[in-house]
Structures are given as C-alpha cells and as structure tokens.
C-alpha cells in the first residue's frame, strides 16, 4: 500500500530519523532538549503552589506541544485566544479549554455552544450583552459554558474597571441559563515585558492586586469565585505566588524568542527558523531565503543564532533578509539559524515545526492553529 502523506506536512515526515541539514528552508525548528527543559522548569515551579498553570496555545499553536505541556503536570488545562483555536484543541483531545477573550456574534457563540458539548469550556466576558448571547446559544443544548469576568488592571485592552462594574457582570453571568460564573480574568500585560525584574515585580503586584481586591468584593456579595486567571511568562513567579490567584496563562516559556529571553533568561530559546544563503558578495553582504512572511517582525528583526558578529541589515522584504557580515563570509548555500523576535507571530506563519534532537529530525508536528483568526 502506498504511504499516506500527512495533510499538513506533506512528505516532510520522510525526514524523520535523518539529518536536520536535509530540511528544506525556510523552516521552523524546535530543539527538543531545550523545549523539554523549558517545560520542566515551568511545571516544577507550580508543583508546590496554590496557583496552577494554564498554558497559552496562542504562542505555539501546536496541539502536540499543548499535550506535552499538560503531560508535564501541574497544569489545569489550556488557554487560547480564538474560537477556531479552541476547535483544533478539542479536535486534538484537549478537554479543558479557556478562550481568554470575549466572544461576540451569533455564529461564534453557536460554535462555542457546540464546543461545550465536547469539552469543559470557559470564555471571558466584559459586558452583559455577551452573557445574553452566550445564554441564548446554549438554550436547549444541555451544554454549559463557564464565564470569567475580565477586569482591566492597566493594560487598557478588554475588561471592565476593578470593583462594582465587575460585580454587576458577575451577577448577570450567575443568573444566566446555561452559563456558570467561574470568576475573574485579568492580564497585567503592560507590566509583563518590563526589563528590570524588580520594577516588573512592583508593577505586576500592584496591578494584579486590583483583580484580587475585585475577587474579594464579589465574594463578599455572596457569589463564590472559583478562579482568578491571568499572568504570563514574564510574571509567572510573581502573579503565581499571589494569594487569590489560581491560574497563570503563561505561553511563551515553551519555545521563547530573543525579545522575551532578555526578560526571562532562565528559559532557553528553543525555537529558530533555519534559512539558506541564496546570494552573497563573498565578503560583507549576504541574503537569506526568508522575510516577513516566514519570521514575525512585530517586535523587531530576528537575530542570527550562531553568528553574533553578523546582523540583519534589512528585514522588510517578503521573502528576503539582508545580512551585514562581520565575520567569516557567508557563501551561497550556507545554512543559517535565526532567532525570531516574536515566537507567537512566527509560529502563526508556519504549517509545521520540525522537532530536532542532536542534529537529527525526531518528528514533524503540525501547527494546527496556524491561521486560526476567528
């Protein structure tokens, strides 16, 4: 019988067991030893904590990595940002999912209601109209969806101000048919990438205390709060130690990138994009076969992983990166690894990731959540 091809990875699975030097470029690579180290480091931190980990899928968008995050223990489920991400997670066997976002529109809430029949599902809300739409979609299905009232603790994105407004929405969620009021979501994202660790700690604790105080207000009203969920890789050891916080939605720690590594150096950069030199003057200039269509550039250009003496000199082309060569000349055909500045947007550009150990392709994983925007 003819070998079946992976619908996402094509015949790239033929590379398993072979040298990573055979991977056609540009391609996304994860160094397995570093990934495993990162997963263990974060899991071990939460082993003896009241708060537990709820890893964020939006960072890598790969169901296989999500399963590995759960398998390492001390995680209560998976976080994602979109209904379509939750759908691929549920299809991949993940049974406890938080969509850490407000879901608006009849089509989307109907999909949420369908998902709730397959897994334990929760969503964020910051307006009574969202609760009403959700409740209407759940009518007659027998399914239930958890609701976390999102509180804005300074990011100025989604969420209501701490205090009474959050209590009003919590009451609406608690009274809505088919909806279970679970608690609060708060994200201190405006603090999470602050470079100075002590300054970051001060800002994180001050911001998240607003969410904890709102929790106490809701509890004092007679409504039980089962969970306060928030935080991220930049604050896991701050938010994760606060009394009143139950879940930390860290995501970037698994793969990392060069922007985040400056803020959390205890986690290794396991993610890279392997590229090929397609043009060179044989001296101080070379061009790689990847551009902004293959490496997320929203936090700046990538850096060359193994050649610190070189630098990206231009990175606005769709399919090309120009390199200013400061060391040994790069020749046509040389392979160069790039560390992205932002791993999340980079993973969203790829359909597969090559798992490499000691220079050998160990596996090829689909990035099922790539392009999941709705």
Q: What is the pLDDT of residues 67-79, one digit of tens each?
A: 999 999 999 999 9
- Asked whether the bond before 26 is cis by omega within 30 degrees of 0, the reply is yes
Q: Mean per-residue pLDDT for 251-261?
A: 97
d(Cα 228, Cα 76) in Å, to the nearest integer? 13
Q: List, in order of start, the domains of the chain with CATH numbers.
A: 11-30+265-366 (2.40.37.20), 49-252 (3.20.20.10)
Check residue 5 and give its pLDDT: 40
Lateral strand order in the sheet of 120-125? 52-53, 247-248, 227-230, 179-186, 145-150, 120-125, 96-102, 78-80
Distances (CA, A) of 337 to 20, 169, 280: 12, 49, 17
Is the pLDDT at 9 greater than 50, yes or no? no
Model confidence at 10: pLDDT above 80: no
Q: What pLDDT, on the 0 to 100 scale, is given for residue 12?
A: 82
Residues 293-348 have pLDDT tens digits of: 999 999 999 999 999 999 999 999 999 999 999 999 999 999 999 999 999 999 99
Instruction: Inform me whether the pLDDT recorded for 7 exceeds 90.
Output: no
Mean of all residue pLDDT scores within the chain: 96
Span 137-153, mean pLDDT? 98
The helix/strand count (H/E) of the chain reads as 10, 17
Question: What pLDDT is attached to residue 50?
Answer: 95
The predicted pLDDT at position 13 comes to: 85
Dist CA 166 CA 127 (whole Å): 9
Residue whose entry in the numeric block shows the structure tokens 């000349």: 329
Per-residue pLDDT tens for 225-254?
999 999 999 999 999 999 999 999 999 999
Of the pLDDT bands very low, low, confident and very high (cuts 50, 70, 90), residue 84 is very high
Mean pLDDT over residues 98-103, rounded? 98
The yes-or-no verdict on residue 3 having pLDDT over 80 is no
- pLDDT tens column, 198-215: 999 999 999 999 999 999
Is the pLDDT assigned to residue 8 strictly greater than 60?
no
What pLDDT is attached to residue 11? 61
């Amino acid at each position: 019988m003819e070998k079946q091809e992976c619908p996402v990875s094509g015949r790239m699975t033929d590379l398993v067991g072979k040298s990573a030097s055979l991977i056609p470029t540009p391609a996304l690579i994860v160094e397995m030893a570093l990934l495993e180290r990162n997963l263990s480091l974060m899991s071990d931190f939460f082993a003896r904590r009241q708060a537990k980990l709820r890893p964020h899928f939006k960072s890598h968008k790969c169901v296989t990595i999500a399963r590995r995050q759960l398998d390492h223990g001390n995680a209560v489920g998976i976080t994602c940002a979109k209904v379509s991400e939750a759908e691929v997670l549920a299809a991949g066997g993940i049974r406890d999912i938080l969509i850490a976002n407000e879901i608006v529109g009849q089509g989307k809430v109907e999909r949420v209601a369908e998902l709730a029949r397959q897994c334990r599902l929760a969503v964020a809300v910051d307006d009574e109209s969202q609760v009403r739409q959700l409740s209407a979609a759940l009518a007659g299905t027998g399914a239930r969806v958890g609701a976390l009232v999102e509180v804005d603790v300074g990011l100025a994105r989604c969420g209501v101000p701490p205090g009474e407004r959050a209590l009003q929405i919590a009451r609406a969620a608690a009274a809505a048919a088919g909806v279970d009021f679970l608690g609060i979501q708060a994200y201190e994202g405006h603090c999470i990438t602050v470079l100075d660790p002590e300054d970051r700690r001060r800002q994180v604790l001050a911001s998240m205390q607003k969410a904890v105080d709102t929790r106490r207000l809701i509890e004092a009203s007679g409504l039980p709060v089962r969970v306060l969920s928030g935080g991220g890789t930049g604050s896991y050891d701050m938010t994760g130690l606060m009394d009143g916080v139950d879940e930390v939605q860290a995501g970037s720690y698994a793969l990392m990138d060069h922007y985040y590594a400056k803020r959390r150096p205890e986690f290794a950069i396991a993610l890279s994009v392997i590229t090929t030199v397609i043009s060179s003057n044989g001296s101080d200039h070379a061009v790689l076969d990847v551009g902004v269509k293959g490496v997320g550039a929203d936090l700046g250009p990538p850096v060359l992983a193994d050649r610190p003496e070189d630098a990206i000199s231009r990175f606005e082309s769709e399919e090309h990166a120009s390199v200013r060569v400061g060391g040994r000349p790069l020749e046509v055909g040389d392979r160069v690894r790039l560390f992205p500045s932002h791993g999340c947007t980079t993973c969203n550009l790829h359909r597969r990731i090559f798992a490499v150990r000691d220079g050998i392709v160990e596996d090829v994983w689909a990035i099922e959540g790539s392009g999941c925007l709705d």
